[in-house]
Amino acid sequence: MPTTPTRQRRKEARPQELLDAALALFGEKGFAATRSEEVAARAGVSKGTLYLYYPSKEDLLKAVIRENLSNLIAEGSDTLDSYEGSTGDLLKYLVSTWWERVGNTPASAIHKIMLSEVRNFPEIAEFYVREVMTPAQTLFARTIQRGIDRGEFRQVPLKEMTVVMFAPMMFLCLHKHSLGACHLQPDPPDPASVLATHIDVVLSGLLRAEPQAAVKKTKVAGSTSSRPKGQKPA
């Protein structure tokens, strides 16, 4: 059986190598301070080769965002459409998958890049809102609405609830690439444990309370009603 030549395999791997190099450098130096030739050098290709795949540095950042965030959100939407378990378990799955695929990987630097530099690059900002923020908010809003429709969750404002869901995830990423990178805390919190606690608290607030059984005051099926000890029935 013929095998793929090494040169061909190398060519097919180049886009991913360029994206990995770009993400690492954008996270370390910032988007504005990173030059295209630095990305090419880290990926082991020429600047001309980089431009064959990504004509501009902005195109390169967009590809990094789409590869690491947009595709994951689309997967989450597909999971929501086919999921058969409880909505609480679905929320746990979405949050834990996000940490596994984004928060605990170099992709976590994207949030720092966007928050620190997005105002200087309005085209990238519009792209990020369109490709990441809006779909992610829609995904979590639909998930919470699923729980409401199924009678699992109480009625809550969806827009505000998505902010509640996102805030700790964004904070953990920003902390990881700022104070967390300085290793100043002698006993830093475990991010996975923080997120597990977060989702537990969120679900405690979302879950619909079980109706309390009414206190019986008359005899039912031969049993007496609840009354103070020693009091005789009327």
Q: What percentage of the chain has pLDDT greater than the value 90?
A: 71
Q: What is the CATH number of the domain that holds 194?
A: 1.10.357
pTM (2 decimals)? 0.80
Asked whether residue 92 is assigned to any structural domain, the reply reads yes
User: Of the candidates 209, 210, 215, which has an alpha carbon nearest to the alpha carbon of residue 228?
Assistant: 215
Mean pLDDT of 30-35: 95
Task: Express each pLDDT in 33-65 by its tens digit.
Answer: 999 999 999 999 999 999 999 999 999 999 999
Mean pLDDT of all residues in 125-154: 96
Top pLDDT among 11 and 111 is at: 111
Express each pLDDT in 184-221 by its tens digit.
888 888 999 999 999 999 999 998 765 444 334 433 44
Q: At 157, is the secondary structure helix, strand, or coil?
A: coil
Q: Is 212 domain-assigned?
A: no
- Asked if residue 93 is part of any domain, the answer here is yes
Which residues, including other chains, have CB under 8 Å from residue 61's CB and lie 6 or more apart? Answer: 22, 26, 31, 113, 124
Q: 171 lies in a domain? A: yes
Q: Tell me if 111 is assigned to some domain.
A: yes
Q: What is the number of structural domains in the chain?
A: 1
Domain membership of residue 114 (yes or no) is yes
Per-residue model confidence (pLDDT) at position 187? 84
Is 70 exceeded by the pLDDT of residue 173? yes
**Domain assignment of residue 128, given as a range:** 61-182+190-206
